[in-house]
């Protein structure tokens, strides 16, 4: 039995990277997964590999259940349609993972206002609109989980436990500001819906994850970069926040490695291996 048997999960930004990893992991745990992004077919994105078609196929090849819904999270009509198409495919959404994100890596002095607004629309307004769309069904059923993906950049250069990874990052101001807003929204929404049994939590990778995007922008040396956090950290942390009891996780703004250690889903080392105790499941 999986931790998400019988559940419906909607995951944004799932054509590659962290979103794809979470979608595949949730499917292994029994969820019926709805994956969303703007890139449907391989090659549609001019710069990066990955597509919703690829994610869905890999889930189905592994025996899981998945459906793709193309959409732009910065648009309210698209957000509402994603949720409606998820319901039409599998039923009301039990778990929403707001993973889609955008940054242009431009210093403030050069940042076009249109791109700033666009990035905030994806990173903050999208999670707001999608949360608003799934909440009525969650409130009616008195259960559900919303998991938001943040960044260590939200706390500002030199202020967190991972300064070498955040200091001097060119063009990170907008991204950090939008992720700080997402973290505050998480805390406020968690308080608003606590009485309805709905978890709202947020977490970040401690040292970044090697993805197609971070490699393209020079933030990772390769997809196997040993200095980056293993994808399994992010996928297991999302699963933990979506499935642990409400009172243990709602309102949390945390790091993947920290929450996994706290709940005993990780060994006592530096996190290069994941061991979910008592489950017979492990992944590196």
Report how far residue 53's alpha carbon sits from residue 68's, in angstroms, rounded to the nearest whole number.
Answer: 7
Mind giving me the DSSP string for 73-94?
TTSHHHHHHHHHHHHHHHSS-S
194 is catalytic: no
Length of the chain: 284
What residues does 276 pair with on adjacent strands?
281
Angle among Cα 178, 181, 184 to the nearest 5 degrees reads: 155
CA atoms within 13 A on the CB side of 160: 20
Candidates 175, 194, 203, 216; catalytic one: 175
* CA proximity to 100, closest of 177, 35, 31: 35
Report how far residue 57's alpha carbon sits from residue 53's, in angstroms, rounded to the nearest whole number.
Answer: 6
Report how far residue 44's alpha carbon sits from residue 60's, in angstroms, rounded to the nearest whole number.
Answer: 21
Question: 270: helix, coil or strand?
Answer: coil
End-to-end, the C-alpha distance of the chain in Å comes to: 21
Report how far residue 217's alpha carbon sits from residue 158's, in angstroms, rounded to the nearest whole number.
Answer: 22
Report how far residue 85's alpha carbon sits from residue 88's, in angstroms, rounded to the nearest whole number.
Answer: 5
Give the tokens for residue 59.
């889930």
Q: Which residues of 197-218 are buried (b: 16+ CB within 10 A; e: fewer)?
A: ebbbbbbbbbbbbbbbbbbeee
- Provide the annotated active-site residues: 175
């Amino acid at each position: 039995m999986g931790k998400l048997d019988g559940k419906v999960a909607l995951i944004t930004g799932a054509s590659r990277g962290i979103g794809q990893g979470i979608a595949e992991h949730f499917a292994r745990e029994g969820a019926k997964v709805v994956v969303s992004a703007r890139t449907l077919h391989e090659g549609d994105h001019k710069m990066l590999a990955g597509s919703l078609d690829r994610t869905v196929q890999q889930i189905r090849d592994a025996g899981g259940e998945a459906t793709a819904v193309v959409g732009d999270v910065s648009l309210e009509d698209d957000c509402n349609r994603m949720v409606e198409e998820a319901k039409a495919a599998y039923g009301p959404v039990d778990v929403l993972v707001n993973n889609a994100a955008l940054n242009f890596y431009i210093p403030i002095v050069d940042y076009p206002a249109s791109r700033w607004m666009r990035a905030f629309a994806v990173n903050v307004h999208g999670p707001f609109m999608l949360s608003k769309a799934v909440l009525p069904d969650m409130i009616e059923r008195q259960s559900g989980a919303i998991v938001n993906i943040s960044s260590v950049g939200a706390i500002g250069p030199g202020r967190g436990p991972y300064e070498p990874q955040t200091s001097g990052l060119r063009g990170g101001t907008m991204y950090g500001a939008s992720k700080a807003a997402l973290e505050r929204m998480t805390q406020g929404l968690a308080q608003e819906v606590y009485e309805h049994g709905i978890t709202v939590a947020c977490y970040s990778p401690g040292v970044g994850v090697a993805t197609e995007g971070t490699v393209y922008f020079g933030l990772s040396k390769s997809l196997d970069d040993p200095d980056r956090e293993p994808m399994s950290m992010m996928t297991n942390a999302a699963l933990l926040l979506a499935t642990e009891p409400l009172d243990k996780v709602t309102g949390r703004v945390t790091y993947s490695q920290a929450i996994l250690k706290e709940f005993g889903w990780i060994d006592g080392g530096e996190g290069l291996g994941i061991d979910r105790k008592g489950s017979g499941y492990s992944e590196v």
